[in-house]
Every structure is written in C-alpha cells, then in structure tokens.
Structure 1
Amino acid sequence: MNEKKLTNVCFYIFSFSILIFSLFSLGSCSSRPEVKLNDGVVEDSLKKITGVTTKDLEAALEKDSLSLDDLFVLAVERTERIALKDEATNQAMAGKDKAFAGFLPTLSYVYNKFYSIPGHTTEPSLVENYRTYQSVQNGDYLSLVPSSTTSSLPPTVGAGSRLLLSFPLTGGLTAYQDYKANKSLTDQRRMEAKFEAGRMYLELAQGYFNVLQLEESLKYATEALELNTESVKERRRLYSLGRIMRSELLNAETGLANAQAILEDTRFQLEQVQTTLAMMVGFDTKIKLANIANPLEKIQIGKVDEYLPKRYDVISTQKGIEVAKANENKAWFGFSPNIAVNTYYSFPMEGQTRNKDVTAQLAVTMPLTPLGQMADLKNAESATKQAKLNASQTRRAALQEIQNATQSLENSERMCIIYEKAYQYAKDTLASQESGYRMGRTSWVDVISTRLATLNSEITFKKTNYQRLLNRVALGVAIGEIPRIPEEKSEFKIEPN
C-alpha cells in the first residue's frame, strides 16, 4: 500500500514538472507583439524593415505640413502594407521554430480503455470472463492472445495509462532540412518586406510631387484665366474701334474658354491626387504638404552590376533558391528508412507486477513502394529550377530598371537646363515688351500675349523640375538606397547638387 502511494506521489511530481515546463515553453516561444495601426508606436519589427522609429513618427505628427519622408513615416505606422509583409516574416519564423522541434524527443500521454459493443461482440462465457479477469489482474496480457499466433502485443494495446518518450533518429535529418528551408524563407520574407517598403516610398513620391506640381499648375491656371479675360476685354475694345478683325477677337475668346477648361480640370485632378495620397498614409481628410527642403544628393552611377547585390528583390530570389534546394534535399530523405526509438512507461495497476513498467521499442519503417516520394522529388526539383529562373528574371528586370532610372534622370536633368533657359528668355522678352509698352512702341495686347507665353514657359519648366526630382527618387529606390536603413547601408557615391 505504501508502495502504491509512493508511485502516485512520483506521478504527481512528474506531471507537475511537465506542466511547468510546458507553460514555460509556451511563454518563451509566444508570437511577437501585434502590430497595431495608428497607435503612435512603431514596433521594432517595422523599424527593422523600414528604419522608421517612434521618434520619427512623433516628429512627423507635430508638423503642420508634411515632407516626403514624413509621408513615408506615417504610411509605415498607419497602413497595413508593411505590417502584412512583417506578418509573413513572422509566420516563416514560426515554421523555423517548428522545424527545430523536430530534432527534440517528444513526450506524450497515452490512455487506452476498451468497450464491448452489444450485438457486435460475441458474448464470452463465465469461464472466459473469469480467465480474462485473472489475466488483467495479474498483468498477464500474453494469455489474452490466441494460441494460433506467435506475435506479442505492442506496449500500447493493453488498457491503462502510459507515457511515451520518442527519440527521432533519421527524422532529425528531415527536420534539419525543414529548418534550413524555413531559415532561408524567413530571410526571403524579410527581404520582400524591405523591397515593398521601397516600392511604397516611390509611390508616395509620385503622389507627393503630383500634388505639388498640380498646386502650382492651379495657381498658374488661375493667373492664365485672368490674363485671357484681360486679353478678351482689350480685343473687344479694339474690335469696337475697328482696329482688329473679328477673327482676332474670336481667337481670344477661344483662348479664354480653353483657360477655363484647364482650370477646372486642374482643380479636379488636384482633388483626386490629394484624396489618394491621404488614403495612402492613413488619413481620411486632405493633408498639407511642405515644399522640398533638401533634395536627395546627386549619385555618380558607375557599373550597374555593382548595385544589384544591394537590391532586396535580388537578395530575396537568392534566398528562394536556398529554400528550394533544402526542400529538394528533404525529398531525397523520403526514400530512406524512418528510424525512431520509443520508450513507454506504464503506470502500474492494482495487482500488476512491476518488472515490465518500462518498455523500449525500435521502430524502423522502410518504404517499399516509394511512388509518393518520387512525385515529391520531381516536384522539389522543378521548384528548384523555377526558383533559379525567377532569380534570373528578377536580376534582369532589376538591371533594366536601374538603367531606365539612370537614363530618365539624365534626360530630365538635360531637359531642365533647356527649359530653364527658355524660361529665362521668356522673362527677358516680357521685360522688353513691358518697357516698349511704357514707351508706346507696343500694344497692351502684345504685352498680355507675352505674359501668357512666359507663364506657359514657367509651367513647363516647373513640371520638368518635379519630374527630375521624382526620377531621382526612382533611381534611389532602383539601386537600393531608399528606404534608408542605417545599420544595413554601405556608402553610396554621392555629390552635392
């Protein structure tokens, strides 16, 4: 009786230890904190992807007008775009932890109890019931096996409670390949998130420069409408005096109607772009933008190939090849036998002997018809080839993007110089016309026409300049310079503008 109590005490102590270990394990491997939108905090996981900190967010929220970098900071914290990529990284990390668990032995609790189903089970006689009862009480389970067979019962067939401790042997090799695959997958998902951050910065830059350009265009369109209105008034006066033909008056009225249409269309486009940009950074209302304070530095582009290793999409596809190769190696292990050592500890029952409480089992499973394994291997080999093709395609697309971004920036810089020169000539012409008008050498109509031409020249120059700034941002994204993550960025070859 004392021995039974001692066994129960040991069981309770062992069960309590297992419970404490399980709670500790669950607490230590819990998921990362949830990324909450618009709570004023930039989680560490988002900081690692974008370089944005809570301090940056607080500084942006205190401003009345937002810069391009401020828009990026708000978009990181107030929208789901980067948070979704971060959760994909978190899921890959969970897969890595699960694969690591495949190296470790597993402990399970097994309980068996048998029931007879009336009408489907032959009713035993009283003698057979008595013999079965004696066998169970004495722990003599072998006597329950029919005499016509020579096999013995496995340790899990009998009724009762057991602890199963299983040690994977060859299963650890498969788990190692899973671990390698998920480790590379985690890096791949992280690179995809950083690449997405660059794409988001570029899209914000497009909206930002569009708003600034349309705001100026609206101002110019309003001024152009006033000048066209003044031109029509002057031409009507001249027409009433018989100094000009009716066709000249009609041309002026046509110009006025076109100016009104341009003004309305510019106002509509501005409202649309403002609404879109506000939604991109998580606002329901329009936001006020600050003018460009410090443009990005000029980059001295060398060989395009040297920027490819810095692109996150290129790095991501290389990690994808590592994932595919690890899965291919795992498929090869499917042809090998699965070997494991299982240890059973049976809790003693009343009247049972104690000399067979612990049973060890060597389990070897050898596939003889590995048709499924062959299909898995073919699929894994094809996935590896696909990953290599994807890496090659991504590298080619990245190379083309850098070349296009470089050429677009160079072209816009040349066009800026030309249009700036044209704008300067237009201003000089206007000054000459106004001087001639004061001296009575030119008419007021000529002055108005020159002012309109100067205004159009200024609009063209400003549009080209905004396009140049946008092309500079696009080049920064293309070469992996943007977004700036200080601990990961090497020195870029830059020169001040």
Structure 2
Amino acid sequence: MQTFKTPPRFTALYLSMAILAGCAASPTSQNYAQQAQADLNITEQAATEAEQVAPILLPELIGSESLNALIDQALTANPSLQQTLLTLEITQLQRRQTGADRLPDLDAGISASKQEENSTTASETSHTGSLTLSLNLDLWGKLSDRYKAAGKDVAQQRAIYHEAKNALAAEVMTAWLNSVALQHAIDIESQRLQSLEKTAQFIANRYRSGLGNLEDIDTARSAVYQSQARMAEYNEDLARQQRALGQLLGQSEVADLTELNDYPSVLLPVAALPEQNLEQRPDLQAAYFAIEANQLRSKAAYKDMLPNLSLQAALEDTASSLSSALLKTPVWSLLGQLVAPLYRGGELRAAAKIADLEIAQSYQAFRESLLNAVVEVDDALGSEQELAKRQAHISDALEAAKRTTTQYQSKYRAGLVDILDLLTVQQQSYDLAAQLDNLIYQRLANRIALGLALGLGVQA
C-alpha cells in the first residue's frame, strides 16, 4: 500500500501559478442581462395603457369550440412543432452531458498479457484488474458555470417551443377565419348570382313582350358570367385554404370544415385584453435566456485561463490467473495533478473575448426582438382603430345601398332608368356586403396578431 504526498515546495509553486493566472483571467464584460431587463422596463412604462384584467388565452379571442378542437389537433400532430419539441428534448439531454463533467468518473478494466523469454521456456500469462476513480475539482466554478449555461439553453429552447405553439395556434385560427370568410364570400356571390340571373330572366321576358333590346340581354348575361367566374375562383380558394389548414393539422387529407361557424357575434373589446406585459412574450424570454447563457459561458471562458486541479485514485491487481486478478490483493495509488495554461498562443484569451462579443451579440438580438414587439403592438392597435372605423362606414354604406337597390328596381320596372343603372346599383350593394365581411375577417385576424404581440398564447 502506497501513499503520495505533494512536497511543500511544489505546493508553493502551485499557489503562485494560481494567483498569477487569476490576475489575468478576470472577466471584463458588462452585465447585459441587467441592461436587457432595464430596456424592457422602460418599454413597458411607455406602453399603451390598458385595464388590468385576468389573463386570457389566445383561443379565447375567437371563442369557438370547433376551432379549439382544431388547435388541439395541430398542437398534437403538426410536424414542425414536433421537431421543435424534439430539439427541446435534445437540449435537455445535452445539459445532462454538460453536468456529467462535474461528477467523478469510475472505470473498471481487465487485461491479459503473455510473455515468452525464449523458445525453451514456457510462456507466462499475467492478468491485471483495475478500478480507477477520477475527479476534476471545480476550484473556480467553471464547470458549474457551463452547467448553469446549459440550463439557460434549456429555458431558451423551452421558450422557443412555447413561441412555436403560440404561432401555430395563431396560424390555425387565422386559417379557420379565412375559411369562414371565403365561405361567406361564396354565399354573397351566390346571392349576387341568383339576383343577376333573375334580372337577366326579367329582361328576357320584357324583350319577348316587346320592351327593351338585345343589348340589355347581353349586358345582363355578361354580369351573370362574371359572377360565375368569381364563384369558381372563390370555391378553389376555399379548397386551397382547407388543404393548407390540413397541413397545419398534420394531415395529408383536406381538413373537415363541413360546418363552418359564423364569426363571433360579440367582438372582444380592446380594453378587455390583458395589460400589456412584454415579459409574457416567449421570443423575448428566449432572447433574455440567451444573454444569461452567454454571460455564464463568458465567465467559464475566463476561468479556462486558471489552473486546473484533478485527482485520480486507482486500485490495481496483477496475478497469473484471471480470478486472482479481480482486486483480491490490490495496490492503490492516488494522483493529484495541477495544470496551468501558461502559454497557448493567445487561444484562451481569444476564446474569452469571443464569449464577450457573443454576449453583446445576444443583447443586440434581444433589443431587436424588443423593438419588433413594440412595433407589432403599435401596428396592431393602429389597425384595430382603422378597421373599426372602416367597418362602421361600410356598414352604413351597405344599408344605404340596399335602399338604393330597392328604389332602382322599382324605377326600372317603370322604365325610368336603364339596365346599366340597375346592374351598377346591384353590384355596389353586393360589393359593399363583401367588403364588410372582409373587414370583419381582417379585424378578427388583426385581433389575433394583437394578442400574439401582447404575449397571449395557448396553455403552456
């Protein structure tokens, strides 16, 4: 049995090396995580004021049971989202790999050798069994820093996954609304077509009675054909939208939308949305975690310039038979090693500077995400006001157009106006109906964008 002790003169040398290395390895980067939090606080103080209400989820902005079922299906089966989830699971396992560096390694081994001195003597076989325990002492905490950084990577990827879930839910909601809007466009165009066909039949009957002329019939038929062309276009647009929605749901067949519901009867007012809190946005959370992870890696990079102390304990037994070599009478040894990187050609210092620049880079990425978030909120709020005004004006215009259409139908029967005037008024009425429905769709879609901008999403 043997023991090994470090001579006092070498101990003094090791301590001197550690002090010198410590003076050269102090990080100089500023705390970008605190700066990012300060930027976020300033932004929220200048944000649009809203009433404080209980938090709501993104699907509640529409409030449709059939839509909620589609969202649940997409969150379960969408392949792109599943890839993001798998990336999260990989990141979690990578964190476990990083954490393993802080733990001791235990290795067992057995070997056999055969030695023959000359041809006249019998060969001699020896077996060696060993058990080795090695540990890297984390004197400066660099392994701990890298493990914490890996934890921030997991938090960042979890935020990215949550952001992907929110974005997917918003896509499904918008696609569903678009399908409803296209179905409404088909219904409106169908009513227009029926009206045009009745008008064309009425003109044909008048012509047979000796009233009107062939030009009136051709004009009416032209309007019918144009309406039929729009019907074909809208039907294909709806089929295309259903295929796109099916893709979001993770299925190759067309999504079943046989019972398309109408728009919500009551539009949630802007004042009912939660108070603006950009900290809820997963993209900002992910960017913030990236700053924290890079700061921890920067600390570890500077600590790489410090001496590294490792210990290794081993049990070893050598015997002529395999059974005797299984550590029955082992010899143990203990090895302590202190290594200081005195000269690496500037590699370690360059790595530390790169780590500092990566912190600054991630901070600028956070600022970019923050500015985008503010612009998205402002744009959505501005669009909400614009669309609300346009919806009110078009609604009034539609009511006036309906009254005008009724008057022109009576005047045409009395011969006071020609067919072109009547068709023009009818077209205006249906055009306004289509515009109004499209504005309702745009306002609902914009409400989804506003919810995303404010940090609303699905259940985490």
TM-score range for the pair, normalised by the shorter chain length: 0.7 to 0.9
Map of 1:135-214 to 2, 5 A cutoff? 160-170=128-138, 173-214=141-182
Q: CA deviation at 1:452?
A: 4.0
> Which letter does structure 1 place at the counterpart of 2:349?
M
- From 371, 375, 384, the equivalent of 1:409 is 384
Q: Distance in 2 between matches of 1:300 and 1:212?
A: 26
- Scaled by the length of structure 1, what TM-score is found? 0.69
Counterpart residue number, 1:285: 254
Q: Structure 1, residues 251-272: CA drift from partner, whole Å, max 9, x if none?
A: 3333222112111111111111
8 Å CA contact 2:75–2:168 kept in 1: the answer is no
Larger RCO, structure (CA 8 Å, separation 6 or more): 2
- From 192, 198, 201, the equivalent of 1:224 is 192
Q: Structure 1, residues 200-246: CA drift from partner, whole Å, max 9, x if none?
A: 12211221111111111112222222322333334445556675465
Counterpart residue number, 2:356: 381
CA separation of 1:395 and 1:115: change in aligned 2, threshold 3 A: farther
8 Å CA contact 1:328–1:381 kept in 2: the answer is yes
CA separation of 1:100 and 1:51: change in aligned 2, threshold 3 A: farther
Counterpart residue number, 2:313: 343
Q: Structure 1, residues 268-299: CA drift from partner, whole Å, max 9, x if none?
A: 11111112112211342331233344656222
Q: Distance in 2 between matches of 1:231 and 1:309?
A: 59
Q: CA deviation at 1:358?
A: 1.3
8 Å CA contact 2:152–2:289 kept in 1: the answer is yes
Counterpart residue number, 1:72: 71
1:360 equivalent in alignment to 2:328: no
Q: CA deviation at 1:324?
A: 1.1
8 Å CA contact 1:105–1:168 kept in 2: the answer is yes
- From 477, 480, 489, the equivalent of 2:455 is 480
SS of the equivalent of 1:368 reads: coil
Q: CA deviation at 1:348?
A: 5.4
Counterpart residue number, 2:299: 329
8 Å CA contact 2:85–2:161 kept in 1: the answer is yes
8 Å CA contact 2:102–2:138 kept in 1: the answer is no
Q: Distance in 1 between matches of 2:393 and 2:101?
A: 67
> Which letter does structure 2 place at the counterpart of 1:287?
D
Q: Distance in 2 between matches of 1:222 and 1:301?
A: 37
246-255 or 219-228, which deviates more: 246-255
Map of 1:389-428 to 2, 5 A cutoff? 389-428=364-403
90-99 or 351-360, which deviates more: 351-360
- Scaled by the length of structure 2, what TM-score is found? 0.74
Counterpart residue number, 1:297: 268
> Which letter does structure 2 place at the counterpart of 1:277?
L
Counterpart residue number, 1:111: 110
Q: Distance in 1 between matches of 2:328 and 2:70?
A: 73
Q: Distance in 2 between matches of 1:408 and 1:484?
A: 27
Q: CA deviation at 1:197?
A: 1.4
Q: Distance in 1 between matches of 2:66 and 2:57?
A: 17
> Which letter does structure 2 place at the counterpart of 1:74?
Q
Q: Structure 1, residues 86-135: CA drift from partner, whole Å, max 9, x if none?
A: 2222222222223333222221113344567xxxxxx95699x99x98xx
8 Å CA contact 1:96–1:178 kept in 2: the answer is no
SS of the equivalent of 1:339 reads: strand
SS of the equivalent of 1:347 reads: strand
Q: Distance in 2 between matches of 1:451 and 1:187?
A: 59
> Which letter does structure 1 place at the counterpart of 2:268?
E
Q: Structure 1, residues 409-462: CA drift from partner, whole Å, max 9, x if none?
A: 221111111111111212333444566679x58679576664443222222111
> Which letter does structure 1 place at the counterpart of 2:106?
L
- From 395, 401, 404, the equivalent of 1:429 is 404
Q: CA deviation at 1:83?
A: 2.5
Q: How many equivalent residue pairs?
A: 392
- From 218, 221, 242, the equivalent of 1:253 is 221
446-455 or 472-481, which deviates more: 446-455
Counterpart residue number, 1:102: 101
Q: CA deviation at 1:171?
A: 7.0
> Which letter does structure 2 place at the counterpart of 1:278?
G
Q: Unaligned 5+ residue runs, structure 2?
A: 1-55
8 Å CA contact 1:331–1:377 kept in 2: the answer is yes
What percent identity do the matched residue pairs reach?
18
Q: Distance in 1 between matches of 2:290 and 2:99?
A: 20
SS of the equivalent of 1:336 reads: coil
